[in-house]
Structure 1
Amino acid sequence: MILLRRLVVFALAITATAVSQPKQMPACGAQCLSTGLTASSCDPKDAPCICQDDILQSNVSTCVVMSCTIKEALLARNMSSTMCQLPVRDISDITPNITSVFMSLGIVATFMRCLQFKKHFGAEDIFAVLALLAAVAMGALEYPMAKDGMGRDIWTIEPENISRIIKFTWIVEMLYIAIMSWIKLAFLCLYLRIFPNEGLRKVIFVLMALVSGFFFAFLIGIALNCIPVSHIWTGWTGETEGECLNFNSFGIACSVINIALDLAVIGLPLREIQKLSLSLAKKLLLMGMFGAGFFITIVSILRLKVVIDFANTTNATYDNVPTAYWSVIECFSAVICVNMPAIRRVFKKLTASCFGTTETESYHDPSDSPVRVMKRRATELSILKTVNTSVHSERRCDESDKVQLVERNKT
């Protein structure tokens, strides 16, 4: 990580060194300012003049970057900013507050799904629960990161806190890859269970392979971004040796591929739903439920923008805050979206209990092979599973289909 390419306002540091804080100002910073003052019209004791001399500040900043270690440069910047009374920026509370809201919604949504595990439990449920657990772990790390200084200017944070923030960020990035991959796999497993179209099922298997490849490739890439691994959170100091990938390019590539997979997974069933012989209201409801996933894609695009902007930052702990909270919003929104069918069923059941609704719909669980002779009917019954309130066992559903087929043949 390259930090502090444009350090400014070191001017008053020499005054602090000479008068009140002789042991704190790094010698390299004092020497740079002393050299810069020889070409300036400002008196060494004229703090306002020194702080407002842009040419002097630029010369001193360049000198400090070349002469000081990163830790020394951070200390010098902190002292000069304090002496020149620059405003102290602190947005460390934004990400924890957003995390609290979206984490609560994600937990409630998944809990509603868990209420129905006795009636049905499939592969999509496993991936949905795994995604929530990873999202909660990711969100939990945002609180100690904020406490350590995430959201403040990097020169105001202790070096050990900076290292800890970078380490937690590294863990968060791996959890992010896991969450987004597992959410996609949860959707794809749901599609396999409710769509009998053989062509579509082949596409689903291809997408599952692509998502799995995305998961392993980027998870390993992030985990082993630097060799040795500890160089990931110690390399910023310039005091350790190691080799790293270009993480900015790696992160941008990850975001672009993630967006492409989102569009493919969320858009896959919409055409199939449009073909169903359902009422317009039910079609709109189902398309709305699946289409809500496009909100995740919009958030992913917004996150990509801040990732690109972050690539050029020299103030990582302050400028990385938008990336952090957009990641939180994206992950927990995905958790909520994948649980929308379960949420709908719970709310419909509550509505029926509170208002005495008599409308009933049959619930079909086609977890086994689709009935070949009734493909369209099986598809409709399977889709309606996502919006039903009464659940039957697989065997009873199969028997019900057979009875319906016999009755239709009689008529």
Structure 2
Amino acid sequence: MSYYDGMDAEEFSRLPHDNRMGDTITAVVLCMFFATVAVCLRLYTRHFILRGVWYDDYMALAGMIGMLSNGIVQCVHTGYGLGEHIYDIQDEKKLVQFFKLFYVMTITYNTTLMLVKFSLFLQYYRLIQEVPHYRIFYLATMAVVGGWLIAQEFALIFPCSPIEDYWTFRPDRKCLDGNLLGWMNAVGNIVTDLIILALPIPVVIALNLKKGRKWAVLGIFALGFFTCIVSICRMVFFAKLTDDLSYDLVPVAAWGEAESASGLICSALIALGPLIRRFSRHFTLVKKTTNTPPKYSQKYFGPMNPFSRHISNRGKSLSRTNGSRRPFDGSETELNHIDPERSRKTDGQDDGRSIRSTKSESSMPNLKLNLETGIKTIISTGNRDSINSQSLSMAPNGIVVKQVWSVRNREPDEEDG
């Protein structure tokens, strides 16, 4: 069988004989590269930064494998006629191989799209799973759309009975109308894309976010509508198919690969927020640390400066109390957290009513002023009258903690403690 049967040599020579093989390979390789990078960055973010890989990430990985498979099939397909004019395929065996690979390509294309859409479904489900009533509606919609996608898959796997009739061209073969099946697939993909991408929008609008933040989230989700635009472009070229199938199929196949790649990229961009924030924070810190010249930072804030040690220690103590001096709440845990050593030291009793149970002096840095400074912590117990006479504020359980700064002259013969 040959598509140039009945043509004379002169008529055949006047036909165009160009080849689109290079366009096919270029488009497929670019789509495969960008989509693979996006999915790998997504998996890195989920595993190494967020420490949690969920079902939508596994679906995205499966979709990436399907997209790569579809791209490889297209590249191999160019060796069996994809990109050539149908009348230039003069070998009947090559023509049979062309339709066999065309059959495989339709299955890998639809399977990849199905996996990408399930990945988007599950990814958006993590956003709305805390809304009980909407969650039920979302699951019901996902079941309906999933059923449609699976039905399309079966229709493309079994277009003829037996399947071999798809490429044998027997006169009595029994096959579905390929044109009708293609239109149902194209329109169904666009409709399901719109349904999947529109489902989380009401939940995002209802989130308690600032207006700018809410628009940013909506903008990220709106990136998914780019996949719908790609699907429409593919459908436009599908409508232009003629009997020169091997030549006209190139843009349809390329846009189909771009459709899968765009779905993977858009779903990955939604998950890359933590990775972007980590790198932006890193560059911000580098920029801030380079503002101070090194000689001044060493002179005034270096490790040998006693004031820098005092400031850093004070900062650490404030960070342990959340930056505020909260009153003692009477709990042993809080006491140990503030001053673990002093709670174990006792000094003496004061008329049986007041006990200075912890008395210690934490030595401060020697600033060459012949002075010694310290902090004296006093824990007192007793009845309310005796404690009020000391002008202390008492906790409900009758325990009072008071810290007193002390400064005294150091004797010349005293050694540093």
What TM-score do you get using the length of structure 2 for normalisation? 0.64
2:159 and 2:176 in contact (8 A); partners too: yes
The yes-or-no answer on 1:330 pairing with 2:262 is no
Could you tell me how far apart the structure 2 residues matched to 1:81 and 1:148 are?
24
1:92 and 1:151 in contact (8 A); partners too: yes
Q: How big is each residue's C-alpha offset from its partner over 1:236-285, in whole Å with a ceiling of 9 and x where there is no partner? A: xxx56521010110111122122111111101112221222322332222
1:306 to 237, 242, 264: 237
In the other structure, the counterpart of 2:168 is 234
In the other structure, the counterpart of 2:68 is 136
2:19 and 2:83 in contact (8 A); partners too: yes
Please tell me the root mean square deviation across aligned C-alpha atoms, in Å. Answer: 2.2
Could you tell me how far apart the structure 2 residues matched to 1:94 and 1:132 are?
22
2:2 and 2:92 in contact (8 A); partners too: no
Could you tell me how far apart the structure 2 residues matched to 1:126 and 1:213 are?
20
1:265 to 164, 185, 196: 196
SS at match of 1:254: helix
1:78 and 1:156 in contact (8 A); partners too: no
Q: Which has the higher contact order (CA 8 A, sep 6+)?
A: 1
The yes-or-no answer on 1:342 pairing with 2:271 is yes
Report which of the two structures shows the higher radius of gyration computed on alpha carbons: 2
In the other structure, the counterpart of 1:192 is 125
Could you tell me how far apart the structure 1 residues matched to 2:100 and 2:273 are?
39
SS at match of 1:227: coil
Unaligned 5+ residue runs, structure 1? 1-70, 359-411
Q: State the 1:139 CA deviation.
A: 0.6
1:7-26 to structure 2, matched below 5 A, reads: none
In the other structure, the counterpart of 1:92 is 21
In the other structure, the counterpart of 1:156 is 88
1:181 and 1:211 in contact (8 A); partners too: no
In the other structure, the counterpart of 1:280 is 211
1:165 to 95, 98, 104: 98
In the other structure, the counterpart of 2:151 is 217
Q: State the 1:150 CA deviation.
A: 0.9
Q: How big is each residue's C-alpha offset from its partner over 1:67-90, in whole Å with a ceiling of 9 and x where there is no partner? A: xxxx255255484445x4444221
SS at match of 1:225: coil
Q: Quick check: which one's helix share is greater? A: 1
Could you tell me how far apart the structure 1 residues matched to 2:92 and 2:215 are?
54
Q: State the 1:353 CA deviation.
A: 2.0
Could you tell me how far apart the structure 2 residues matched to 1:86 and 1:162 are?
19
State percent identity of aligned pairs. 23
The yes-or-no answer on 1:117 pairing with 2:47 is yes
Q: Using a 3 Å threshold, how does the CA distance of structure 1 residues 273 and 153 change in structure 2: closer, same or farther?
A: same
Q: Using a 3 Å threshold, how does the CA distance of structure 1 residues 151 and 73 change in structure 2: closer, same or farther?
A: closer
Could you tell me how far apart the structure 1 residues matched to 2:28 and 2:95 are?
21
Q: How big is each residue's C-alpha offset from its partner over 1:324-359, in whole Å with a ceiling of 9 and x where there is no partner? A: 11101111101111111233332222222233289x
Could you tell me how far apart the structure 1 residues matched to 2:95 and 2:27 are?
22
2:59 to 119, 124, 127: 127
SS at match of 1:144: helix
Could you tell me how far apart the structure 2 residues matched to 1:346 and 1:109 are?
12
1:151 and 1:321 in contact (8 A); partners too: yes
- How many residues align? The count is 283
1:231 and 1:240 in contact (8 A); partners too: no
Could you tell me how far apart the structure 1 residues matched to 2:69 and 2:8 are?
33
Q: Quick check: which one's strand share is greater? A: 2
1:154 and 1:316 in contact (8 A); partners too: yes
SS at match of 2:124: helix
1:350-365 to structure 2, matched below 5 A, reads: 350-356=279-285
My pick for the range that moved more, 275-284 or 105-114, is: 275-284
Q: Using a 3 Å threshold, how does the CA distance of structure 1 residues 357 and 278 change in structure 2: closer, same or farther?
A: farther
Could you tell me which amino acid in structure 2 is paired with residue 74 of structure 1? Y
What TM-score do you get using the length of structure 1 for normalisation? 0.65
Unaligned 5+ residue runs, structure 2? 288-417
2:221 and 2:270 in contact (8 A); partners too: no
Q: Using a 3 Å threshold, how does the CA distance of structure 1 residues 133 and 78 change in structure 2: closer, same or farther?
A: farther
Could you tell me how far apart the structure 2 residues matched to 1:343 and 1:193 are?
15
